[in-house]
Amino acid sequence: MSPYDPQSIERRWQAVWAEESTWEVANPGQPGFDAAKPKAYVLEMLPYPSGEPHVGHLKCYAVGDAIAHFRRRHGFEVIHPMGYDSFGLPAENNAIKTGEPPRVATERSIESFRRQFREWGVSIDWARELATHTPEYYRWTQWIFLQLFEKGLAYRTEAPVQWCPKDATVLANEQVVDGRCERCGTEVIQRSLEQWFFRITEYADRLLADFEQLESWPEHVITMQRNWIGRSEGAEVVFRCSEEEVGLDFPVFTTRPDTLFGATFFVLAPEHPELMRLVEGTPAEAEVREYVNRIGRESASERGAEDREKTGVPLGRSVVNPVNGDEIPMFVADYVLMEYGTGAIMAVPAHDSRDYEFAQAFGLPLRRVIEGEDAEAARDSEGLPYPGDGPMTGSGRFDGKGNRDAYEEIVAWLAAEGRGDSAVNFRLRDWLVSRQRYWGAPIPVVYCEGCGEGGAPAIVPVPAEQLPVELPEIEDYAPQGKSPLAAAEGWVATECPRCGGPARRETDTMDTFVDSSWYFLRYLDSRNGEAAWGREAVDHWFPVDQYIGGVEHAILHLMYARFFTKALADLDLLGAQEPFANLFAQGMITRDGAKMSKSRGNTVSPAEYVERYGADSARTYVCFMGPPERGGDWTDEGVEGVNRFLSRLWRLCEEVEGRTAPSAVPDLGEPAARELMAKAHWAIEKVTRDFQRGFQFNTAIAAVMELVNDAYRLKDGLYAELRTGAAVRFATATAASLIFPFAPHLGAEVYERLRGERVWEQPWPVADPELLASDTVTLIVQVNGKLRDRVEAPSEAAEEELLALAKASEKVSKHLEGKDLVKEIVVPGKLVNLVVR
RNA sequence: GCCGGAGUGGCGGAAUUGGCAUACGCGAUCGACUCAAAAUCGAUUGCCUUUACAGGCAUGUGGGUUCAAAUCCCACCUCCGGCACCA
Name which of A542, A539, A544 is nearest A582 in CA terms: A544
pLDDT score of A831: 82
> Among A275, A271, A266, which residue's Cα sits nearest to residue A240?
A266
Q: Range with the lowest mean pLDDT among A201-215, A352-366, A718-732?
A: A718-732
> How far apart (Å, rounded) are the C-alpha atoms in residues A733 and A197?
57
- Give just the sign of the alpha carbon dihedral A406, A411, A414, A420: positive
Q: What is the rounded average pLDDT of the residues A425-444?
A: 91
| pLDDT band at A136; cut points 50, 70, 90 | very high
| Confidence band of A174 (pLDDT split at 50, 70, 90) | low
Nearest to A460 by CA among A502, A510, A498, A508: A498
Specify the 3-state DSSP secondary structure of A666.
coil
- Per-residue confidence at A750, pLDDT binned at 50, 70, 90? very high
What Å distances lie between residue A425 and A207, A336, A364, CA to CA? 14, 15, 28
Nearest to A220 by CA among A572, A655, A555, A660: A555
Distance CA A720, CA A659 (A): 9
Tell me the C-alpha to C-alpha distance, in Å, between residue A774 and each of A609, A677, A769, A771: 43, 12, 10, 7
ipTM of the prediction = 0.94
Average pLDDT on A740-757 reads 96
Residue A68 binned pLDDT confidence (cut-offs 50, 70, 90): very high
Instruction: Tell me which residue of A617, A629, A555, A620 sits closest to A589, measured CA to CA.
Output: A629
CA–CA dist A828, A471 (Å, integer): 73
- Which residue, among A638, A724, A739, A745, has the nearest Cα to A673 in the 3D structure? A724
- Return d(Cα A67, Cα A74) in angstroms, integer: 11
C-beta pairs of A184-187 under 8 Å, 24+ apart in sequence = A187/A299, A187/A300, A187/A301
Nucleotide nearest to A222 (CA to C1'): B4
pLDDT tens digits, one per residue of A270-291 = 989 999 999 989 999 999 999 9
Residues A267, A260 contacting (CB under 8 angstroms) = no
Q: What average pLDDT does this structure show over A450-477?
A: 90
Among all strands, which nt has the closest C1' to A645 (CA)? B25
Most distant pair of Cα atoms in chain A: their distance: 110
Which tens digits make up the pLDDT trace of A5-53?
Answer: 999 999 999 999 999 999 999 999 999 999 999 999 999 999 999 889 9
Check pLDDT > 80 for residue A774.
no
Per-residue pLDDT reduced to its tens digit, A650-708? 999 998 888 888 888 888 888 888 889 999 999 999 999 999 988 999 999 999 999 99
The answer to whether strand B lies under 7 Å from the CB of residue A394 is no
- A783 burial via Cβ count (<10 Å: 0-12, 13-18, 19+): buried
Question: What's the sign of the alpha-carbon dihedral A353, A355, A360, A365?
Answer: negative
pLDDT of the residue at A374? 59
Strand B: list positions under 7 Å from protein Cβ: 3-5, 12-15, 19-21, 23-27, 39-42, 55-56, 67-69, 81-87
Ordered DSSP codes for A523-586? GGGTT-SSSS--HHHHHHH-SBSEEEEEGGGTTHHHHHHHHHHHHHHHTTS-S-S-SBSBEEEE
Q: How confident is the model at residue A377 (pLDDT cuts 50, 70, 90)?
A: low
Identify which of A136-140, A716-720, A805-809 has the greatest average pLDDT.
A136-140
Residue A167 has pLDDT above 90, yes or no: no
Give, in order, the Cα–Cα distances in Å from A748 to each of A621, A656, A660, A745.
18, 16, 19, 5
Which residue did the predictor score with more confidence, A630 or A701?
A701
Whether the predicted pLDDT of A380 surpasses 70: no
**How many angstroms separate the first and last alpha carbons of chain A?**
64
**A555-588 residue pLDDT tens:** 889 999 999 999 999 999 999 999 999 999 998 8
Q: Is the C-beta of residue A591 closer than 7 Å to nucleic acid chain B? A: no
Q: Is the CB of A598 under 7 A from strand B?
A: no
Rounded to 5 degrees, what angle do the CA atoms A366, A370, A371 make?
105
Over residues A816-832, mean pLDDT: 77
A332-337 average pLDDT score:
92
Separation between the CA of A783 and the C1’ of B57 (whole angstroms): 18
A93 CB less than 7 Å from any atom of strand B: no
The pLDDT of residue A597 is 76
Contact flag, residue A637 CB and nucleic strand B, below 7 A: yes
A679 touches strand B (CB under 7 A): no
Does the pLDDT value for residue A211 go beyond 80? yes
A400 touches strand B (CB under 7 A): no
Q: Among A766, A768, A759, which residue's Cα sits nearest to residue A69? A: A759
The conformation of residue A4, written as its DSSP 8-state character, comes to: P
